Structure formats: C-alpha cells, structure tokens
Structure 1
Amino acid sequence: MVSIVIAALFVIVITLIYIYLKRAYSPSPDDLPGVKPHIVFGNLLNSGILTGKLSFHQVFLDYQRRFGDKFQFWFGSHRCFVFCGVEHAQIIFADRHTFEQAPLSFPNFDLLCPNAIVMLTGAKWKRHIRVLLPMLKRAKIIGHLETIVQCADRFIDQNLHPGQVHRDLVSSCQSFTMNVIGFIGFDHDFDAHINSPIKKAFRDFIFYSVSILLSPWLPRWLGKIYLKYNWKYQHAYRLIHELSEKLVEEEQNKESEMENKRPKNLIASLVSSLNEQANDDQVSSGLTHAEIFDEVLIMILAGYETTSTALSWFIFFASKNPQVQQKMKEELRKHHLLMTDDLKYVPELTSENLTSLTYCECVTKEVLRLAPVAGFSVRIATCDTIVDAVKIHRGQTVFIALNNINTDARYWHHADPRQFVPERFLGEDENHHSLAMIPFGGGHRACIGQELAWLELKTIIVRMMQRGITFEDTSENTGGYEDHLSCLPKKLAVRVRFD
C-alpha cells in the first residue's frame, strides 16, 4: 500500500513539473519572433552555443538575419528580448532608471564573486564606483604609459621569436595584460609567463566560471556543491585569495609608513577605503575586506581576459592584412618613431606622439569594432516600459547585440563592415553614429576600464610595429570563434618576422 502511494505521489510530482515547465515555455502574447526553445536549455542547445559549434555573436547575427532587429532568445529558462539597432541602444542605455545591469550579464557569477562591481546595482554599486573610478580615469591611466611600454617590450622579448610559427599567442597576450594590471593597478610583478602558477590559477578560475555562466538552468544549491567539492577550482581560488591578501597586506604596510598620502594606484585606493562598517545607506562610504577581495579579483580577471582577446584578434587581422602592417610602419617612419636600422634604439612613446599616429588609431578602432570581444550587453527592466513598440515587463531581461550593431551595413558605408578595413575611419565612416561602435557597452554601466583597455591595445600595437615585427599568415591560421568570458580566435597560428 505504501509503495502504491509513493508511486502515485511520484507520478503527480513529475506531472506537475512537466505542466509547470510546459506553461513556462509556452508562447506569450508579447513574444517576439525566434526559435522554439528546448525545455531547460532554452536556445543555448539548439543554437549550437552549448556544443561550441557557434558563438553568441554568430547566433545573434543569424537570428537578426532571420527575424529582424527584434527577436526573442531563451537563455536557459529565461525569456529575453534582443535588440539590434542603434535606436534601441540609445533608448536602453540612456534610461538608467528603467534599465539596470541584469543578473544574466554574468549568470550565477555571484557564486564566485558576489561583491564585484559587475554584479552590483543601486546604492552598493554607487559606493563601489566611488572608490574604483578615480583610478581608472584617463588622466590617471595616461601616467602609466611608460609601464605599459615596458610590459609590451617584455611581451615581445619573451614571446615573439623570429621564423617560428606561434600557436600559443592567445595565452601570451593574456600574460601581457595580466602583467600590465599587476604593475599599474597593484604595484606588483605577477611574472605571469605562460606556465606561472598564478596564470594557471586564473585559467582554471575562468574555465569553471564559464561552466557556471553557461548553466543558468542549474539550481543554485547544485552550483554551490559543484564549486565546493571541485578541488581544481578550490585550489585556483585559494591561490588567487592568497595573492589578494598579499597585495592588501603590502599596501597596508606602505600606508602605515606614509600617512596622509593620496592613492596612486588601484590597490592604494582600495586599501585606503577599507571600512568594515560600510553599508548601503546614504552616508556610508568605503569597502569591506570581503568587498576589496572581490574587486581585486574582478580587476585582475578583466585585465587578464578582455584586452588580451582584442590583442589576439589584432594579431589575427594583421596576419591576414600585411598591407595594414606596412601602412602602420610607414606612418611610424614619417614620425621618426621606427627602431633604428642598427637595432640599438627604439624611440620613446609619449602620449603626444601616440595621439599623432592617426592610422594606428584607425587600426585600433577597427580591431575593437570588428572583433567580437563582447557580443552583447545585458539590462533588466526595473518597471514596465516599451521599446520600439515592444512591451517589456518589470524584471524582464533585454540584450543589446553589440557586435550586430558594430558590423551593421546601415551604419558603416566605406566598405563591407564585416571586413577589416581601418581606412573606413579616414573616409565616409569617420563621423559614424556614436552608438554604431560600442565595444565597451554604453550608459552608466559601460566598462569602467575602457580607458586602460584602449591605451593598452594601441600602445602594444604601436610598439610591435615600432620594433619591426611582421605577423605572417599560415595554413593553420584559420580563426573561428571560441566563447570564454570573451570571444577568442579559435585557431591563431602566425609566423613572426622581424624586419
């Protein structure tokens, strides 16, 4: 009798779960066109994203071609609206009171880094931004140009060898950007060569981060168990936590020796803000110890992943377009900035001569425009609203398809916007729509590290050309896309030649 009751209860529970899921995934009157979702996986599986067949930006480009500028995409069990026009971006980014950073920007990332600025909203976000932003403004960043140049020289000397086919440049680029953030953000040499322990720790941390991000259907308790008993993740987290504690302790020792000094870098600003009583009321300021750890983690992580991806794409695009490398060197020669023929002197890079390099600037812009480093930006509606006749309810998630806009022929006229053509910024597209190129997102939640990313990328590009490096194409250099926290070139294999 008991077994019959248990069996009946089991059937009832399964039936109720099926009915709930069926209703949750059933069409709604407010739906936009899109692909029918799978239960639990949504469109992540049938689009090819989960299997690695396609990247997010490829799927969004395909959906735009099939359904137009407004379509529906199911991120697991979350019904999301995707917008692909500059007029949509303008409305969503401008209305900071209606559209706020969405949890789906980094789904379940709070299991890994709950106090990082990318996860915060409202008063808590404002409290964190007051500490972080002053150190990441252009006026502060430009003062670190010499350090970035030194890191660029280290990258060239350690990783670029003439005559060899390089297949590990994505990892080498990550080492470069990690070293930059180490020096200018934390006054610390991470010595992040390819096989360094801290580099491996961040690589493992990112791997498990992506696993969590692409599993939005998992119950949170299951994600917690997965991370708690995953010894590789725990080992990586422990190494990163020890590094963070070391950075904070070293800075606290410096502070005790030099009272009343103004913060000179990010770690100094974080430590000077330490306030264990900090909360989200209107008068509280500063960050707690736990919050500082998460901010250290996310800043190193951002430096490790995003700019390095753009640099990897530059190397790929340059190898496919040797005439672009030649034109950059011609511009450097015109400004007397090329290495001397006897290889004994490389002219100094200053903010003034960097600014004077117009074509090099166009190349940097074209990399950021075309490379799908970030395929989309995500917002959540804080109240019911309407965007381009689409009803959006409070709590609903919207995606702004950044790469779709960056490569849309309606906004780019000089040449095919899917092609790498830096000259577009010297011609018809020089005065493009301000939102036709938004690699760092927009509005009040745009990337706060964009000034550093821009300076890093242009500096390393110019420095490599200064030193006479040429990237040559190979049969293995097929590109493709691989989604991590950002979208990397899947197969990058170039031969390096020194002029």
Structure 2
Amino acid sequence: MVSIILASLFVITIILIYIYLKRDYSPSSDDLPGVKPHIFFGNLINSGIVSKASTFREVMLDYQHRFGDKFQFWFGSHRYFNLLCSNGIIMLTGARWKRHIRVLLPMFKRTKIIGHLETIVECADRFIDQNLHSDQIHRDLISCCQSFTINVIGFIGFDYDFDIHVNLSIKKAFQDFIFYAKFLIIASWIPRWLKKIYLKYDSKYQQAYRLIHELAEKLVEEEQNNRENEGPKNLIALLVSSLNEQANDEHTSSGLTRSEIFDEILVMILAAYETTSAAIAWFIFFVSKHPQIQQRMKDELREHHLLMTDDLRGKPPATSDNLTSLIYCECVTKEVLRLAPIAGLIIRRATCDTNTDDVKIHRGQTIFIPLQNIHTDTRYWHHADPRQFIPERFLAEDQNHHPLTMIPFGGGHRACIGQELAWLELKTIIVRMMQRNITFEDTSENTGGYDERIACFPKNLAVHVRFDRP
C-alpha cells in the first residue's frame, strides 16, 4: 500500500513539474519571435550549440537574420551561472557590487595601468623569445598567448612570476576550471542544486578548485608577510589591505572578507588566462591572411624610428606617447576587437518590469546583447564589408562610428573593469611583435573557425613565423 502511494506521488510530482515547465515555455503574447524552445534544453539543442555544430556568435547572427534585431533565445529553465565564483565582482549586484568596486577600481584606472607598460613589454619580449621561432610553423600559439596574459596579471597584479612559480598541474587546473565554467553555461537547464551536488563530488573539479585556492592563499599569505608601510602598489596588496572579515553590505561597511578576496583573485587569474589571449590569437590569424597590413604597421614604426635595426642597439623605447602616436597600429587593435570581441555576449538582468523599444521586459529576465551582430552591422559600418578585417575603416568614414556600435568591453557602469589593461596589453604586444620584425605567414592548416570557450579562439591557428632582416 505504501509503495503504491509513493509511486502515485512520484507520478503526480513528475506531471506537475511537466505542466509547470510546459507553461513556463509556452508562447505568450509578450514573446519575441524565435525558435520554439524545448523543455529543459531551451534552444541549446535545436540551435546546434550542444552538438558544437554552431557557436553562440553564429547562432546570434542567424537569429538576427531570421527574426530581426529583437528575438528570444532560451538557455533553459535555469539561466544563471554563479557557482564557481559567487563572490567575484562579475556576479554581484546592488550594494555588494558597490562595496567590491570601491576596493578594486583604483588599481584598474588608466593612470595606474599605464605605469605598468614596461612590465607588459618585458612579458611581450618573453613571449616572443620563448615561443616564436623563425622559419617554423607554429600550431600551439593559443596556449602561448594564454601564458603571456597570465604573466602580465601575475606581475602587475600579484608581483608573481607564473612561468617560474606555477607548475603544470596548476595550469591544468586553470584549464579545467574554464571547462567547468563552460559546462555550467551550456547545462543551464540543470537545476542549480543538482549542479552544486555534481561539483561537490566531481574529483576533477575539486582538485582544480583546491590547487587554485591554495595558490590564492599563498599569494595572500606572501603579501601579508611582506607588507610595507607604504600604500598598495598592486592588486594583491590592495586586496590584502582591504581584508575585513566583518565586511557586509551596509553603507558604513567596507573591505572584503577572505572568501571574497579569493574569488576576486580567481576571477582576475581566469580572466587573464582566457580573454585578452583570444584577441592576440585572432590578431595573429587575421594578419597572417593580410601581409600588407603587417607591412604597413612596420612602415609606421619605421617612420617613428621605432623599428628594430642593426644600428639600433638595445630595445627601442616603449612609452605611452609612442603607442599613442602609432595611429595605424591603433586601427589594427580596434579592428581585432571589432571583428573578434573578447566576449561574444554582454549579459544584463532586468531588476524591474519595464518596456523598451515596444518590448515588455519582466523583472528577472536576462537580456543578451550579441556583440558580433552590432560590430558587423552594415547599417552602422559603411567602409567596405564589415565582416572583413580592414583596419583602414577607422581612417575613413567609420572613424566617427556611433560609440555603441563597438562595445567589446561592454558599456555603462558595469563595463569590464579591466578594459584599460586589456587594451594596453593587446596594443603593446601587437606593436612589439611588429617592432621586432616578425612576419606571420599563412599556411594550408590555418583555416580559422570558432573554438568557443568562455572567450572565442580561432579553431585552427597554424602560421609560419619569419624574423625579417632589418
């Protein structure tokens, strides 16, 4: 009798869950056009994302072509990802976000970042000397680009040499963490409580979490042991000086707790590992297809007496004024970020019911802003085909493009806090590679495509590297 009752309750529960989800996914008069979602899986399967037949960027462009500028895309019944670093600034809202931003923002202002230019140049030289070999085909440049960006954040953020002090197991932990981040995004249809249980008992994730946590604890402990009386010089010093276990979201409270500091370190390391490195990889891919662009960059460097030559001993000076004067190199940097933005989507969540452009938006809904759609829209980009890599567009009519038609770092007060660093990193290493007379040549294996992780990398990047004689 008891088993019959339990079986009946189970069946009733399943039916109620199905009815709830069916109702949740049923069309309503407020819905935007789009493909009918599946229960649990939303549009992840019928768009080809789960099978990897398509990427988010390709799907967003396809949906815009089919349904116009405003459409709906369903990730599943549970759309939010904050299990890996719930205390990181990118996951926070309201008073808690304001408390974190007050701590972090001072270290990411341009006046602070520009002071690290010499360090970024040194990291760029290390990247070139260790990874680029003349007259060879390079197929592993993505991992090399990741090493460069993580070295930059290591030195300027933590005064730490990741190449020397971080072993292969920790670097593997970074990769595993990124894998789980992507998994949680794709598996948004799985209930949060079930994903939490899965992560708790997944040995691979727990090993990665433990290694990264130990690294963060080591960075904090070393900073505490080496603190001087002067003000904070880098991110880790700033974080340690803000340590306050009683910190809360009251207006009178300030600082960060130890667990919050750990998550901020985690976000900074993973962002360095995954983001700007993608832009560098895309630069190498694009210019390998356009040798005339590399030549024009070198011509500009020569005009400013910054190209390395036999009669120029030592290293040409790298200053912010030099970088600013290199107009064409800046156009190339912009074109990389336009055509291959670091993030494929900007995500915002509605905090109240509203009506925007005749679209009803309900509190709690997630708004996607697909950057590839905006950055390649022929209505806003007029110089040649916006789907092509043409830096000259920023010297022609597109130099005065609407500011919201190119937002690789987002916009508003929730724009990427590290955008000044990302921009300086990207332009510096682009200039440095050209400055040292490197030429990237196309190969038959260099077919591109999209490898979508947290950031999007060229799927097949294989270039021949040549060091030109001055």
Query: Do the structures match in fold with TM over 0.5?
Result: yes
Q: 1:33 Cα deviation (Å)? A: 0.5
More deviation in 380-389 or 423-432?
380-389
SS in 1 for 2:160: coil
The aligned counterpart of 1:180 is 152
Pairing of 1:80-99 with structure 2 (within 5 A): none
**2:206 matched to 1:234?**
yes
The aligned counterpart of 2:379 is 410
Call closer, same or farther: CA 1:65–1:359 in 2, change over 3 Å: same
Q: 1:344 Cα deviation (Å)? A: 4.9
| Coordinate RMSD, CA, aligned | 1.6
Q: What is the TM-score of this pair, normalised by structure 1?
A: 0.91
The structure 2 residue matched to 1:122, chosen from 86, 89, 94, is 94
Call closer, same or farther: CA 1:162–1:126 in 2, change over 3 Å: same
Asked if 1 retains the 8 angstrom alpha-carbon contact of 2:124 and 2:429, the reply is yes
Structure 2: 5+ residue runs without aligned partners? none
Paired with 2:268 and 2:223, the residues of 1 have a C-alpha distance of: 17
Pairing of 1:11-410 with structure 2 (within 5 A): 11-77=11-77, 104=79, 107-108=80-81, 110-191=82-163, 196-255=168-227, 258-259=228-229, 261-341=230-310, 344-410=313-379
Count of residues paired in the alignment:
468
Superimposed CA distance per residue, residues 376-430 of structure 1 (whole angstroms, 9 cap, x where no aligned partner) = 1111111111111011112222111222111111111011100000000001111
Q: 1:192 Cα deviation (Å)? A: 7.0
Paired with 2:6 and 2:210, the residues of 1 have a C-alpha distance of: 45
Paired with 1:113 and 1:233, the residues of 2 have a C-alpha distance of: 13
Q: 1:238 Cα deviation (Å)? A: 1.3
Asked if 1 retains the 8 angstrom alpha-carbon contact of 2:342 and 2:409, the reply is no
The aligned counterpart of 1:445 is 414
Asked if 2 retains the 8 angstrom alpha-carbon contact of 1:337 and 1:346, the reply is no
Paired with 1:235 and 1:381, the residues of 2 have a C-alpha distance of: 36
SS in 1 for 2:397: coil
Superimposed CA distance per residue, residues 172-198 of structure 1 (whole angstroms, 9 cap, x where no aligned partner) = 100000000000000010117997332
The aligned counterpart of 1:91 is none
Q: 1:228 Cα deviation (Å)? A: 1.6
Paired with 1:338 and 1:376, the residues of 2 have a C-alpha distance of: 37
SS in 2 for 1:398: strand
Q: Which amino acid aligns with 2:298?
A: K
Paired with 1:335 and 1:4, the residues of 2 have a C-alpha distance of: 85
Asked if 2 retains the 8 angstrom alpha-carbon contact of 1:277 and 1:288, the reply is yes
SS in 2 for 1:45: coil
SS in 2 for 1:274: coil
Superimposed CA distance per residue, residues 31-78 of structure 1 (whole angstroms, 9 cap, x where no aligned partner) = 010001111110011101111111111101000000001011111126
Q: 1:205 Cα deviation (Å)? A: 1.0
Asked if 2 retains the 8 angstrom alpha-carbon contact of 1:172 and 1:194, the reply is no
The aligned counterpart of 2:389 is 420
Structure 1: 5+ residue runs without aligned partners? 79-103
SS in 2 for 1:111: coil
Asked if 2 retains the 8 angstrom alpha-carbon contact of 1:346 and 1:466, the reply is no
SS in 1 for 2:74: strand
Asked if 2 retains the 8 angstrom alpha-carbon contact of 1:340 and 1:346, the reply is no
Paired with 2:459 and 2:8, the residues of 1 have a C-alpha distance of: 51
Q: 1:254 Cα deviation (Å)? A: 1.9
Call closer, same or farther: CA 1:241–1:28 in 2, change over 3 Å: same
Q: Which amino acid aligns with 2:307?
A: L
Paired with 1:137 and 1:166, the residues of 2 have a C-alpha distance of: 35
SS in 2 for 1:188: coil
Q: Which amino acid aligns with 1:116?
A: G
Q: Which amino acid aligns with 2:9?
A: L
The aligned counterpart of 2:450 is 481
Q: 1:457 Cα deviation (Å)? A: 0.1
More deviation in 219-228 or 447-456?
219-228
Paired with 2:463 and 2:203, the residues of 1 have a C-alpha distance of: 36
The aligned counterpart of 1:463 is 432
Paired with 2:348 and 2:218, the residues of 1 have a C-alpha distance of: 35
Asked if 1 retains the 8 angstrom alpha-carbon contact of 2:57 and 2:344, the reply is yes
The aligned counterpart of 1:101 is none
Superimposed CA distance per residue, residues 113-158 of structure 1 (whole angstroms, 9 cap, x where no aligned partner) = 1110001011110010011000000000000000000000000011
Paired with 1:213 and 1:185, the residues of 2 have a C-alpha distance of: 28
Paired with 1:193 and 1:316, the residues of 2 have a C-alpha distance of: 30
Superimposed CA distance per residue, residues 217-271 of structure 1 (whole angstroms, 9 cap, x where no aligned partner) = 112222122212222221111111111111111111122xx22x11111111101
More deviation in 320-329 or 230-239?
230-239
Call closer, same or farther: CA 1:455–1:224 in 2, change over 3 Å: same
Q: Indicate the percent of aligned positions where both proteins have the same amino acid.
A: 76
Asked if 1 retains the 8 angstrom alpha-carbon contact of 2:103 and 2:238, the reply is yes
SS in 2 for 1:482: strand
Call closer, same or farther: CA 1:370–1:345 in 2, change over 3 Å: same
